[in-house]
Amino acid sequence: MERIIKGKALKYGDNINTDIISPPQYMELSIADAAVHAMRAVDPDFHVKAKDHSIFVAGANLGSGSSRETAPLTLKYLGTEVVIARFFARIFYRNCINLGIPAIECPEADKISEGDALVIDLELGAIENISKNECYRCGKIPAHIFELIEAGGLIGYLHNSVGGR
Protein backbone atom coordinates (compact mmCIF):
# COMPACT_ATOMS: atom_id res chain seq x y z
CA MET A 1 0.00 0.00 0.00
CA GLU A 2 1.17 3.46 -0.83
CA ARG A 3 1.76 5.74 2.10
CA ILE A 4 0.58 8.67 0.02
CA ILE A 5 -2.97 8.41 -1.32
CA LYS A 6 -4.40 10.75 -3.95
CA GLY A 7 -8.04 10.96 -4.90
CA LYS A 8 -11.32 12.84 -4.85
CA ALA A 9 -13.52 13.07 -1.79
CA LEU A 10 -17.08 11.95 -1.25
CA LYS A 11 -18.34 13.96 1.72
CA TYR A 12 -20.97 13.16 4.32
CA GLY A 13 -22.00 14.58 7.69
CA ASP A 14 -22.03 13.42 11.28
CA ASN A 15 -23.43 10.16 12.65
CA ILE A 16 -23.19 8.06 9.49
CA ASN A 17 -23.81 4.71 11.12
CA THR A 18 -23.26 1.17 9.88
CA ASP A 19 -26.96 0.77 9.00
CA ILE A 20 -26.63 3.69 6.59
CA ILE A 21 -23.38 2.44 5.06
CA SER A 22 -24.53 -1.17 4.80
CA PRO A 23 -28.32 -1.47 5.21
CA PRO A 24 -29.17 -4.60 7.23
CA GLN A 25 -31.93 -5.75 4.87
CA TYR A 26 -29.25 -6.52 2.24
CA MET A 27 -26.79 -8.37 4.49
CA GLU A 28 -27.70 -11.76 3.04
CA LEU A 29 -26.61 -10.64 -0.44
CA SER A 30 -23.08 -10.92 -1.73
CA ILE A 31 -20.95 -7.83 -1.12
CA ALA A 32 -21.15 -7.06 -4.85
CA ASP A 33 -24.96 -7.09 -4.77
CA ALA A 34 -25.25 -5.34 -1.40
CA ALA A 35 -22.88 -2.55 -2.51
CA VAL A 36 -25.58 -1.16 -4.82
CA HIS A 37 -27.54 -0.25 -1.69
CA ALA A 38 -24.64 1.32 0.26
CA MET A 39 -25.40 4.77 1.68
CA ARG A 40 -28.78 4.75 -0.09
CA ALA A 41 -30.55 6.46 2.83
CA VAL A 42 -28.44 9.62 2.39
CA ASP A 43 -27.15 9.26 -1.19
CA PRO A 44 -28.98 6.92 -3.58
CA ASP A 45 -26.21 7.35 -6.18
CA PHE A 46 -23.34 6.56 -3.81
CA HIS A 47 -22.44 3.28 -5.50
CA VAL A 48 -22.04 5.11 -8.84
CA LYS A 49 -20.16 8.13 -7.44
CA ALA A 50 -17.80 5.92 -5.43
CA LYS A 51 -16.21 4.67 -8.66
CA ASP A 52 -14.68 8.13 -9.23
CA HIS A 53 -14.07 9.07 -5.59
CA SER A 54 -11.62 6.92 -3.65
CA ILE A 55 -11.73 8.94 -0.42
CA PHE A 56 -14.70 8.70 1.95
CA VAL A 57 -14.98 11.71 4.28
CA ALA A 58 -17.46 12.14 7.12
CA GLY A 59 -17.91 14.27 10.20
CA ALA A 60 -18.11 13.06 13.77
CA ASN A 61 -19.01 9.58 15.01
CA LEU A 62 -18.53 7.67 11.76
CA GLY A 63 -19.52 4.02 11.93
CA SER A 64 -21.55 3.90 15.13
CA GLY A 65 -24.14 1.17 15.50
CA SER A 66 -23.57 -2.45 14.63
CA SER A 67 -20.16 -4.10 14.72
CA ARG A 68 -20.75 -5.75 11.34
CA GLU A 69 -17.78 -5.83 9.00
CA THR A 70 -19.99 -5.40 5.95
CA ALA A 71 -19.96 -1.60 6.30
CA PRO A 72 -16.22 -1.09 5.66
CA LEU A 73 -16.14 -4.14 3.38
CA THR A 74 -18.78 -2.53 1.15
CA LEU A 75 -16.77 0.70 1.04
CA LYS A 76 -13.66 -1.25 0.09
CA TYR A 77 -15.53 -3.16 -2.61
CA LEU A 78 -16.68 0.15 -4.12
CA GLY A 79 -13.10 1.42 -4.32
CA THR A 80 -12.64 3.40 -1.12
CA GLU A 81 -8.90 3.62 -0.42
CA VAL A 82 -9.06 5.66 2.77
CA VAL A 83 -11.72 6.83 5.24
CA ILE A 84 -11.43 10.20 6.97
CA ALA A 85 -13.61 11.46 9.82
CA ARG A 86 -13.45 13.90 12.70
CA PHE A 87 -13.70 10.80 14.89
CA PHE A 88 -14.84 7.19 14.55
CA ALA A 89 -16.83 4.67 16.49
CA ARG A 90 -14.00 2.41 17.70
CA ILE A 91 -15.33 -0.88 16.31
CA PHE A 92 -15.80 0.63 12.83
CA TYR A 93 -12.29 2.10 13.00
CA ARG A 94 -10.85 -1.29 13.89
CA ASN A 95 -12.91 -3.09 11.23
CA CYS A 96 -11.49 -0.69 8.61
CA ILE A 97 -7.93 -1.46 9.71
CA ASN A 98 -8.65 -5.21 9.86
CA LEU A 99 -9.83 -5.03 6.24
CA GLY A 100 -6.81 -3.03 5.09
CA ILE A 101 -8.48 0.39 4.83
CA PRO A 102 -6.62 3.29 6.45
CA ALA A 103 -8.93 5.18 8.84
CA ILE A 104 -7.73 8.71 9.55
CA GLU A 105 -9.01 11.00 12.27
CA CYS A 106 -8.90 14.64 11.19
CA PRO A 107 -10.37 17.38 13.39
CA GLU A 108 -10.66 19.57 10.28
CA ALA A 109 -12.56 17.04 8.15
CA ASP A 110 -15.46 19.51 8.00
CA LYS A 111 -13.34 21.77 5.76
CA ILE A 112 -13.25 19.11 3.04
CA SER A 113 -15.99 19.36 0.41
CA GLU A 114 -17.49 16.86 -2.01
CA GLY A 115 -15.19 16.44 -5.01
CA ASP A 116 -12.12 18.04 -3.43
CA ALA A 117 -8.84 16.63 -4.74
CA LEU A 118 -6.82 15.39 -1.75
CA VAL A 119 -3.30 14.11 -1.19
CA ILE A 120 -3.02 12.20 2.08
CA ASP A 121 0.36 11.44 3.63
CA LEU A 122 -0.44 8.59 6.00
CA GLU A 123 3.02 8.55 7.51
CA LEU A 124 3.28 12.30 8.16
CA GLY A 125 -0.32 12.73 9.26
CA ALA A 126 -1.21 15.42 6.74
CA ILE A 127 -3.97 16.00 4.21
CA GLU A 128 -3.33 18.43 1.39
CA ASN A 129 -6.51 19.78 -0.16
CA ILE A 130 -5.39 20.63 -3.70
CA SER A 131 -8.80 22.10 -4.57
CA LYS A 132 -8.68 24.66 -1.75
CA ASN A 133 -4.91 25.05 -1.37
CA GLU A 134 -5.15 24.06 2.31
CA CYS A 135 -3.40 21.58 4.58
CA TYR A 136 -4.92 19.75 7.55
CA ARG A 137 -3.17 17.85 10.32
CA CYS A 138 -4.53 14.39 10.96
CA GLY A 139 -3.69 11.28 12.89
CA LYS A 140 -0.59 9.38 11.83
CA ILE A 141 -0.82 5.67 11.22
CA PRO A 142 1.53 3.83 13.61
CA ALA A 143 4.04 1.37 12.14
CA HIS A 144 2.32 -1.72 13.58
CA ILE A 145 -1.00 -0.64 11.99
CA PHE A 146 0.77 -0.03 8.66
CA GLU A 147 1.87 -3.66 8.75
CA LEU A 148 -1.78 -4.75 8.90
CA ILE A 149 -2.88 -2.35 6.17
CA GLU A 150 0.02 -3.21 3.86
CA ALA A 151 -0.81 -6.91 4.22
CA GLY A 152 -4.36 -6.17 3.05
CA GLY A 153 -5.78 -6.47 6.55
CA LEU A 154 -5.67 -8.83 9.51
CA ILE A 155 -6.11 -12.05 7.53
CA GLY A 156 -3.29 -11.15 5.16
CA TYR A 157 -1.12 -10.13 8.08
CA LEU A 158 -1.74 -13.41 9.92
CA HIS A 159 -1.12 -15.38 6.75
CA ASN A 160 2.20 -13.59 6.24
CA SER A 161 3.17 -13.97 9.91
CA VAL A 162 2.31 -17.60 10.57
CA GLY A 163 1.19 -18.98 7.22
CA GLY A 164 4.68 -19.80 6.00
CA ARG A 165 5.66 -21.89 9.03
Residue 46 confidence class, pLDDT cut points 50, 70, 90: very high
* pLDDT (mean) for 44-54: 95
Give the pLDDT of residue 2: 72
Distance of CA 165 to the CA centre of its chain: 32
Residue 98 confidence class, pLDDT cut points 50, 70, 90: very high
Domains within the chain, CATH numbers bracketed: 4-162 (3.20.19.10)
pLDDT digits (tens, 9 = 90+) for 59-76: 999 999 988 899 999 999
What percentage of the chain has pLDDT greater than the value 90?
A: 87
Q: How far is CA 35 from CA 1, 30, 101, in A?
A: 23, 8, 16
Eight-class DSSP state of 99: T
Q: Which residue has the higher pLDDT, 144 or 72?
A: 72
| Mean per-residue pLDDT of the chain | 94
Q: Report how far residue 153's alpha carbon sits from residue 43's, in angstroms, rounded to the nearest whole number.
A: 28
Give the pLDDT of residue 164: 57
